[in-house]
Amino acid sequence: MALFGTNGVRGKLDVLTPGLAFDLASSFASLQKGKELVLAMDMRKTSSMMHSAAKAGILSAGKDVLDLGLASSPVSEYFLSKSPACGLIIVTASHNAPEWNALKFVDENGVAISRERGVVIEKMALAKNYSKAGWKTVGKTSACSTATHDHSSAVLKAVDSEKIRKKNLKIALDFGNGTSVLSKKVFESLGCEIVLLNGKLDGTFPGRPSEPSEQNVQELCKEVAKESADFGVAWDGDSDRVIFVDEKGKWIVGDKGFAISAKKACKEDKGKEKFVVTTVATSRAVEEACKPFGAKTVYTKVGAPYLSEKMHELGKKAASGGEEVGGIIWPGFSIAKDGIFAAAKIAEMVCDSPLSQLVSELPIYYNSKCVLKVSPEKKNVVLLAAQNHAKQMKGKITSVDGVRIDTDGGWAIVRASGTENAIRIFAEAKTIKASEKLMQEFKKVAEEELSKSP
C-alpha cells in the first residue's frame, strides 16, 4: 500500500485516519537523529484532530514536540531553518478541497520528504515497527506562539520595505480563508492599502475553493479592476502557492509569476555560476527569461520535495526555484515555497514597473493541456509509447518525470499523475495553433496505445 504522494501523505478521513497519522508521525520521529521536532497545522476542520494524533505519535516515539499551533507552511518551514529541531510535520492538505487533509514531512535540512524517501516511513507505519517509549521516556511538549511574527519580521527585512512604503501601493489580497490571513501584517507594515477578500480563517473555504486557479479567483480579478489596485494576490490554503492578478484585473498563470520572480532573482544574484530549479511541467519562458543573466535551468520531477532536494544540493548556486502551479522559492530567504515572501517581492518590483509590463517582457508562449483516464497498469505502456514517438522527433528528451521533448518550436510532456489514475499531456509553443497541434500529436499516440487490447 503506497501512502506517500507528490508531497506527503494525504487523503480523506476514511483513508488518512487519526490512527494512521499517529503511526506515520511515530515512524518519522523514530528515524530522526535529533530529539525535538516542530509541529504545525492549518485551519481545516480535521486539522486539530490530526495535529493531536501526530503530536501523540511523536511523543510516543520518545521525541519532543515544539508546537507552533496554527501556522502556514512557509512560516513553519522558515521556523525550522532557524531552529535546531531535527524535522517538521505540517498538518495541511494545501490546495485540496476541505474534506481532505495531509501530513507533510520535512527533514532537518529543510528538504520535504519525497515519495521515494517516504517508503521507509510508510513501511514502518504500516508494520507499526517504530520506537515505543516507556512511561518515563515519552517526549515533552513546548509551544511557540511567535513563529508567524518572526517570519513576518524576516520578510520585512529581506525586501526593500522603505521603497514599498513610499509607493503607497494598493493591493487586493484574497486570503482564500487560509493561513495566509495570519501574515496580513506583512502588507500592513509595508504601508499598503489593502482590499480584503476572504479574510476570515475557515477550514470549509466558504469564499472560494482553496486552489487559486483562474476560475476560482474571478472575484479578485473584478476587485482589482474595480478598486484600481496596483495588483492582486491569491493564496491556497497553506500559503505555499501564490497567484497574481495585474493592475488590469488579468489573472497571471503560475509559470509567469514564477518567471518574473526568477528573472529578478537572477538579476540580483552576483554569483559566477547560478541555477534556476523548476519542474519538467514548467514553461520554457522561465529558462529563456533567466538565460541572459547567465543562469542555467535544472529540471526536476513535479513536486515540492524534488525542488527542495535540488535547491539544497546546489546550495548558494541556486538563484531561484519554483513550479508552474504558483510555487515560488527565493533560496536566499528559504528553500521552501513561500507565497508570502513571493508576494512581498512582487510588491517591491511593482514599485518600478506595472505588473502587466513585467509580464509583457517575458518570452511569449501558449500552452495546451489534456488529461486522459488511464488504469495504473497502463501508465508505463503509454509513457513508453510517448518516449518512442519523442525519439523520432528532433529535440532534447528529458525523462526525470514522464517524457518531455524540447524542440525549436516548443515542448511537450507526457507524465503519469501522482494522485490520479491519469496521464497528463502538456504542450507549449509560440502560437496557440502550434501548441494545440503538438498536444494533439501526443494525445493521439496515447489514445492509440490505450485502444490496444490488454
**186 plus 306 within the same structural domain:** no
Determine the pLDDT at residue 417: 82
Share the mean pLDDT of the chain.
96
**321 plus 426 within the same structural domain:** no
Which residue's entry shows cell 529563456? 288
**38 plus 64 within the same structural domain:** yes
Angstrom distance (rounded) from CA 445 to CA 348 = 46
Angstrom distance (rounded) from CA 278 to CA 272 = 20
We report the CATH number of the domain holding residue 265 as 3.40.120.10
**Mean pLDDT score, 10-17:** 95
- Whether 219 has a pLDDT exceeding 80, the answer reads yes
Domain containing 213: what range? Answer: 160-250
Angstrom distance (rounded) from CA 74 to CA 390 = 38
We report the CATH number of the domain holding residue 445 as 3.30.310.50
Determine the pLDDT at residue 348: 98
Give the end of a domain, one of 97, 122, 146: 146
**Mean pLDDT score, 94-106:** 96
Residues annotated as catalytic (active site), given as ranges? 94
Q: How many CB atoms lie within 10 A of CB 409?
A: 14
State whether residue 36 is helix, strand or coil: strand
* CA of residue 60 relative to chain centroid, distance: 31
**220 plus 336 within the same structural domain:** no
- Whether 38 has a pLDDT exceeding 70, the answer reads yes
**Mean pLDDT score, 56-66:** 98
What Rg, from alpha-carbon coordinates, does the chain have? 22
Determine the pLDDT at residue 156: 98
For 305-338, write each residue's pLDDT tens digit. 999 999 999 999 999 999 999 999 999 999 999 9
- Whether 454 has a pLDDT exceeding 70, the answer reads no
What angle (nearest 5°) sits at the alpha carbon of residue 171, between those of residues 245 and 323?
Answer: 40
**394 plus 407 within the same structural domain:** yes
Closest CA to 196 of 218, 175, 213: 175
Determine the pLDDT at residue 155: 98
**24 plus 91 within the same structural domain:** yes
Residue 155 lies in a domain: no
Determine the pLDDT at residue 421: 87
Q: Is 143 exposed, middle or buried (0-12, 13-18, 19+ CB in 10 A)?
A: exposed
Determine the pLDDT at residue 376: 87
> Using 50, 70 and 90 to split pLDDT, how confident is the model at 87?
very high
Residue 152 lies in a domain: no
- Whether 167 has a pLDDT exceeding 70, the answer reads yes
**Mean pLDDT score, 97-121:** 96
**238 plus 317 within the same structural domain:** no
Residue 2 lies in a domain: no
Angstrom distance (rounded) from CA 432 to CA 368 = 8
**242 plus 268 within the same structural domain:** no
The long-range contacts involving 195-202, CB below 8 angstroms and separated by at least 24 positions, are 195/170, 195/171, 195/223, 195/224, 195/227, 195/229, 195/232, 197/172, 197/173, 197/223, 198/174, 199/173, 199/175, 201/43, 201/70, 201/177, 202/43, 202/177
For residue 443, give Cα distances in angstroms to 141, 150, 426: 53, 48, 10
Which residue's entry shows cell 525535538? 36
**31 plus 106 within the same structural domain:** yes
**353 plus 240 within the same structural domain:** no
For 128-159, write each residue's pLDDT tens digit. 999 999 999 999 999 999 999 999 999 999 99
- Whether 419 has a pLDDT exceeding 80, the answer reads no
Angstrom distance (rounded) from CA 257 to CA 278 = 13
**204 plus 293 within the same structural domain:** no
How many domains does the structure of the chain reveal?
A: 4
> Using 50, 70 and 90 to split pLDDT, how confident is the model at 5?
confident
User: What pTM does this model have?
Assistant: 0.94
Determine the pLDDT at residue 1: 60
> Using 50, 70 and 90 to split pLDDT, how confident is the model at 274?
very high
> Using 50, 70 and 90 to split pLDDT, how confident is the model at 271?
confident
- Whether 453 has a pLDDT exceeding 70, the answer reads no
Give the end of a domain, one of 219, 250, 281: 250
**Mean pLDDT score, 167-176:** 97
- Whether 273 has a pLDDT exceeding 70, the answer reads yes
Grid cell at residue 306: 524534488
**136 plus 20 within the same structural domain:** yes
Residue 401 lies in a domain: yes
Grid cell at residue 245: 492578478
> Using 50, 70 and 90 to split pLDDT, how confident is the model at 302?
very high
